[in-house]
């Protein structure tokens, strides 16, 4: 997989320098590249307890992204998925530890425990007052003697960081950290593994499956399960966390941290947030969704839950000047306001016509069954969603037929236009709304349906600026409507001929295809024109 890096050997140091350049001088680093990679606060005066965390890189924004007032004092960075050396950790301790002491927050991986642990012993031998806590929030493998540290570590950073910023003693800060560790639980799920720079990507997760309970270094999860949808996925995650959300009372609140493992899109993460909040668990506050502790480009998520008392809740609420920290929000209800006057949809008076219902249902079925094929065509010349857009509108239209004025074309056509403009979105919905509304106007003037449809198409050309030969749906629809008076079979043949001719049009003049290189268009039918041909051919078969 191609990645935006220069060389594997330099990627971590170059990434750290990029962070420093863009920190507004809030961060500095120790000398010692490439072996010592320590980032710490430029305003640090050693008067308070220092907090140090770190580990392998590849989890950004953790750990250096959380260095700042109210969270970490310093981060010690290793190479990708590799623990930093004892010398690097010791350098970080000596750089930021004053008389108040230092707390190291370590995730429960053997390399981190050994390197950070030995550095602690050496720092103590040098007279520094240092404590260490180990985070083991992963509940995927309940029988594992030493559970892994996951994104729940960020709760420790924030709550212990608040205590340190408030001037608490090392013992008090350490106790605050341990209290979080005793109560935080996390689990992850992914649809794909991650790509380690310079290594071949492991193709471990079978197509159509998701992996539950995986680590943050690409380690295999506890099980592979069939992936159905976001709702079922989140339910499986929350079922695992359920025992750790019990015992709720008025003195405690449940906070969830929804973490993007790297490559999950913001759209997906918002859907997952909705499913988490709508689950059967009393999550009152949420941090995220956001990439907080990632696993490079892993297409997955993790959820961490913590039952907090009022003091811990106040610590989590405190704002910090860190772009990587999204803050905590109370889970609220969805507030809905009425549409402005004149925009509320006018409900048509329903009427029945069996033949019209059959025709519309057949068209909807054809579009739904062609979803994948049309998406594949659109991927050649657009954004790959034509089939999904049409299929979504078709499914919605099928559920609305009982409310449609099927027996009156003058009402049916604008009703179809209004329905499609609401369910399709984008330019397609607008184009079809114009088409059907203009067709309805023509029907109201007494024109026969064939002429009314042609007039609707003329209106689309006027408003949208497209014409035959521009590589759009018009290339199939116009000849089909011209041939319709001779019969549906003639119209279908004309639509197919028009659609197939678009494969030879290499300069589109409208739509997304107009931005696509000519070589991407040659030999591929326009998806809109293809959809028209599919519909007319399907009506012939019926």
Condensed to tens digits (0 to 9), the pLDDT of residues 289-321 reads: 999 999 999 999 999 999 999 999 999 999 999
Q: What is the mean pLDDT of residues 340-351?
A: 73
pLDDT tens for 13-44 read 999 999 999 999 999 999 999 999 999 999 99
pTM, to two decimals: 0.75
pLDDT in tens, 479-517: 999 999 999 999 999 999 999 998 888 765 555 445 455
* Residue 380: pLDDT band with limits 50, 70, 90: confident
Segment among 76-90, 469-483, 493-507, 515-529 with least mean pLDDT = 515-529
**Domain limits, the chain:** 8-330, 354-541
Confidence tier at 121 by pLDDT (50, 70, 90): very high
Mean per-residue pLDDT of the chain: 91
What tokens were used for 228? 């159905």
- For residues 206 and 347, which has the higher predicted lDDT (pLDDT)? 206
Cα end-to-end span (Å), the chain: 47
Would residue 244 show up in a list of annotated catalytic residues for this protein?
no
Beta-carbon-side half-sphere exposure of residue 374 (alpha carbons within 13 Å): 25
Contacts 24+ apart (CB under 8 A), 439-442: 439/413, 440/409, 440/410, 440/411, 440/412, 440/413, 440/414
pLDDT at 345: 59
d(CA 120, CA 99): 15
Confidence of residue 522 (pLDDT cuts 50, 70, 90): confident
- What is the tens place of the pLDDT at every residue in 164-188? 999 999 999 999 999 999 999 999 9
The SS3 assignment for 442 reads helix
Catalytic residue among 59, 63, 157, 217: 217
Looking at the DSSP bridge assignments, the partners of residue 102 are: 50, 130
Residue pLDDT, tens place only, 133-147 = 999 999 987 666 678
Q: Given this model, what pLDDT does residue 426 score?
A: 66
Q: Name the DSSP class of 323.
A: T
Angle at alpha carbon of residue 271, lines to 270 and 276, rounded to 5°:
95
% of the chain at pLDDT higher than 70: 94
> Among the CATH numbers 3.40.50.10440, 3.30.1330.100, 3.90.1150.10, 3.20.20.70, which is that of 8-330?
3.40.50.10440
Q: Which segment, 36-40, 244-248, 526-530, is predicted with the most confidence on average?
A: 36-40
Q: What is the mean pLDDT of residues 124-140?
A: 96
For residue 522, the tally of other CB atoms under 10 A from its CB is 12
Query: Thinking of the domain 354-541, which architecture would CATH place it in?
Result: Alpha Horseshoe (1.25)
* CA dihedral sign, ordered 315, 318, 319, 320: negative
């Amino acid at each position: 997989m191609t990645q935006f890096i220069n060389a594997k050997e330099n990627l971590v140091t170059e990434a750290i320098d990029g962070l420093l350049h863009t920190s507004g001088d809030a961060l500095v680093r120790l000398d010692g590249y490439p072996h010592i990679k320590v980032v710490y606060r430029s305003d640090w005066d050693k008067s308070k307890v220092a907090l140090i965390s770190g580990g392998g890189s590849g989890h950004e924004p953790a750990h250096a992204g959380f260095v700042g007032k109210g969270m970490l004092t310093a981060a010690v960075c290793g190479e990708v998925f590799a623990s930093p050396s004892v010398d690097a950790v010791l350098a970080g301790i000596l750089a930021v530890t004053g008389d108040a002491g230092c707390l190291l927050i370590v995730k429960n991986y053997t390399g981190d425990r050994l390197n950070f642990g030995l550095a602690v012993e050496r720092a103590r031998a040098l007279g520094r007052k240092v404590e260490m806590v180990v985070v083991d929030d992963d509940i995927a493998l309940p029988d594992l003697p030493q559970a892994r540290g996951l994104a729940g570590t960020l709760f420790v950073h924030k709550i212990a960081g608040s205590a340190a910023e408030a001037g608490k003693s090392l013992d008090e800060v350490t106790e605050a950290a341990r209290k979080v560790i005793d109560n935080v639980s996390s689990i992850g799920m992914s649809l794909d593994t991650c790509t380690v720079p310079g290594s071949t990507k492991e193709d471990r997760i079978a197509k159509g499956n998701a992996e539950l309970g995986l680590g943050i270094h690409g380690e295999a999860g506890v099980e592979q399960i069939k992936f159905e949808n976001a709702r079922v996925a989140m339910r499986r995650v929350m079922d695992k966390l359920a025992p750790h959300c019990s015992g709720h009372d008025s003195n405690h609140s449940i906070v969830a941290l929804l973490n993007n493992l790297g490559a999950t899109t913001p759209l997906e993460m918002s859907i997952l947030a909705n499913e988490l909040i709508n689950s059967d668990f009393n999550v009152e506050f949420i941090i995220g969704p956001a990439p907080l502790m990632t696993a490079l480009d892993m297409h997955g998520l993790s959820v961490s839950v913590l039952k907090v008392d009022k003091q811990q809740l106040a610590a989590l609420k405190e704002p910090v000047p860190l772009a990587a920290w999204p803050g905590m929000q109370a889970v609220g209800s969805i507030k809905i306001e009425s549409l402005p006057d004149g925009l509320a949809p006018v409900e048509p008076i329903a009427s029945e016509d069996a033949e019209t219902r059959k025709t519309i249902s057949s068209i909807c079925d054809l579009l739904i069954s062609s979803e994948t094929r049309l998406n594949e065509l659109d991927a050649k010349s657009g954004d790959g969603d034509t089939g999904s857009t049409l299929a979504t509108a078709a499914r919605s239209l099928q559920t609305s037929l009982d409310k449609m004025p099927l027996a009156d074309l003058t009402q049916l056509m604008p009703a179809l236009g209004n329905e499609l403009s609401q369910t399709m979105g984008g330019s397609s919905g607008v184009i079809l709304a114009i088409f059907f509304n203009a067709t309805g106007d023509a029907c109201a003037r007494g024109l026969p349906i064939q002429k009314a449809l042609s007039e609707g198409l003329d209106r689309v050309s006027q408003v949208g600026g497209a014409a035959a030969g521009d590589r759009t749906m018009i290339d199939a629809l116009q000849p089909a409507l011209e041939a319709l008076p001779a019969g549906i079979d003639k119209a279908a043949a004309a639509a197919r001929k028009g659609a197939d001719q678009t494969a030879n049009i290499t300069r589109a003049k409208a739509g997304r295809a107009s931005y696509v290189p000519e070589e991407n268009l040659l030999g591929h039918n326009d998806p809109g024109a293809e959809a028209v041909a599919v519909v007319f051919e399907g009506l012939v078969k019926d």
